[in-house]
Amino acid sequence: MSEWNAEWQAWLSDNRTRGCSVESMIAAMVGAGFPLEVARRQVEGAAASPAVEAAYRYDRMPVAAGNRIDVGDRMVTVALRCERPQVLVLDGVLSSAECEEIMARSRDKLRRSTTVDPLTGKEDVIDRRTSEGTFFARCEDDFIRSIDERVARLMNWPLENGEGLQILRYGVGGEYTPHFDYFPPADPGSAAHVAQGGQRVATLIIYLNDVAEGGATIFPDAGLTVTPRQGSAVYFRYGNQAGQLDAMTLHGGAPVEGGEKWIMTKWMRERRYG
């Protein structure tokens, strides 16, 4: 009998965004070894979720309009703006020296990355996420505070609503298959994560190095690929003011084909976090 896990949750989410019917997804799960009642519960539960639906309403993005954004200590350039889903590619978010310092601080702290188990809400190591990572607590020292304050101003969201900065390193072959950053409401394990700070609403991924080959951030349903460049970033928003979640922000990290890839991620919540 197959076991419901994060990989199956990603499969279900992916097939929902592709418009597959409830019946076809149940049949596929039964064919893979799930009992009919388990397959029906998972698929119908996801289909009934009011927060992730085709009628997502794209309201005004919090990030400032225009080609350049004042973040206090510098101007960040908008290289690309996508309206559906709401994605921005941004240049000059960090300096080269800042990127190098973050990598140097992180290197000795790296541990195999985990992801949230959809049933229990616990952190598990899975095959589809092959990176090493570490965290910096929000504003843990003056240097990290300067980064957190700049990111909050760029995302135009309260600093206290942000999670700590996550640092990830991918070697050759490292990847993260397509997934959502928000906590799927249909997953039993999501409740524990949204209890503090509410749902995630937006993500900023900052590239800490130039990647020799591969390693792009991909949005498969939007047909969008973002190439990593040191100091640049990609912002995407998936939670609107009505509490809906945008399934078009399905995204992943393509395999690294040469060199290594370092990124820093900031997730923002609905309310104060921590």
Bridge partner residues of 235 (DSSP): 88, 204
Average pLDDT across the chain, whole number: 89
pLDDT on residue 19: 63
Q: What angle do CA 86, 89, 94 make, to 5 degrees?
A: 130
Q: What are the structure tokens assigned to 52, written together?
A: 């992730």
Residue 248's closest CA among 228, 223, 227, 226?
A: 223
Q: What angle do CA 6, 252, 128 make, to 5 degrees?
A: 40
Residue range 136-152: average pLDDT? Answer: 98
The domain segmentation of the chain, as residue ranges, is 6-47, 68-269
Query: pTM for the complete prediction?
Result: 0.78
Question: Rounded distance, CA 14 to CA 247, Å?
Answer: 9
Q: At 2, phi and psi to the nearest 5?
A: -70, 155
pLDDT in tens, 4-14: 776 677 778 76
Running DSSP on this structure, what letter comes out for residue 141?
S
Question: Rounded distance, CA 264 to CA 91, Å?
Answer: 14
- Kindly indicate the confidence band of residue 52, based on its pLDDT and cuts at 50, 70 and 90: very low
Task: Assess contact for 182 and 200: CB atoms under 8 A.
Answer: yes
pLDDT in tens, 2-48: 677 766 777 787 667 656 678 878 888 887 888 998 888 888 887 76
pLDDT in tens, 56-94: 999 999 999 999 999 999 999 999 999 999 999 999 999
Distance of CA 61 to the CA centre of its chain: 17
Q: Is the dihedral of CA 89, 90, 93, 95 positive or negative?
A: positive
Grouping H, G, I as helix, E, B as strand and the rest as coil, residue 80 is: strand
Task: Calculate the dihedral angle through the C-alpha atoms of 71, 72, 73, 77, rounding to the nearest 10 degrees.
Answer: 30
Contacts of 109 (CB under 8 A, 6+ apart): 134
Q: Look at residue 119 and tell me whether its pLDDT is greater than 50.
A: yes
Domain 68-269: CATH superfamily is q2cbj1_9rhob like domain (2.60.120.620)
Question: Rounded distance, CA 107 to CA 101, Å?
Answer: 10
Residue range 129-143: average pLDDT? Answer: 91
